[in-house]
Amino acid sequence: MNAPILSFRSNIDPNNLITEFNYSQTVGLQTGLPVLAGETSDVITFRIYNNFSTPPSSGIASATNCKITTFDDSSGSSGTTMSCVNQLWTYFQENGYGENSSVHNLLTFYKGEETAVGGATSIYAFERASNGSSASTIRAGTDTNGVGFIEFKTVSKPPLTALTHSMNFNITLIYDFTT
């Protein structure tokens, strides 16, 4: 069994790999505006895929015990006390799931609980697996030779006491697998 091949992708066109999120808001006809303290960003919808390729690779393990969290930097640190990570301004919610023998997956809608995440102790554990079961798992299809995904929505909600500047942070997927 080979390690999971996980990727963050667009929910509209999964061929588009996502390398960063820009939490912003739309007011009237203006888009891409900063998220003001006490307000909520526009919703960002994305998918995490296991084994997205054409054709899918064979013998790909499931990613199990999947959780999303955020850190101030790539070292897994969340030491800046006023950061959005430690202040839990970033929220995630499962929006659906799917799996298939090919990359053309159909979404099964599922509305999970909106959860604030940040640091190693504040996580979003997946509520449904790619096959709809209650496990926190993204399978590579039904037979380790296909594709599975979970779809999420995320927003940022800085409180009224938030500092007024840009903050960079990492969104991290933590998981286990067995070869």
- Nearest 5 degrees, angle CA 81-CA 84-CA 110? 135
| CA separation for the pair 163, 36 (Å, rounded) | 10
Instruction: Provide CB contacts within 8 A for 126, sequence distance 6+.
Output: 66, 67, 94, 135, 136, 137, 138, 150
Instruction: Judge whether residue 106 has pLDDT over 60.
Output: yes
Q: Which residue has the higher pLDDT, 161 or 104?
A: 161
Domain boundaries in the chain?
A: 6-176
Cα-based distances in Å from 32 to 2, 43, 151: 40, 12, 23
Tell me: the pLDDT tens digits for 9-66?
Answer: 999 999 999 999 999 999 888 888 989 889 999 999 999 999 998 888 999 999 999 9
Residue range 123-129: mean pLDDT, rounded: 94
Contact between 127 and 94 under an 8 Å Cβ cutoff? The reply is yes
Beta bridge partners of 124: 68
Confidence band, pLDDT 50/70/90 cuts, at residue 77: low
How far is 172 from 28, CA to CA, in rounded Å?
32
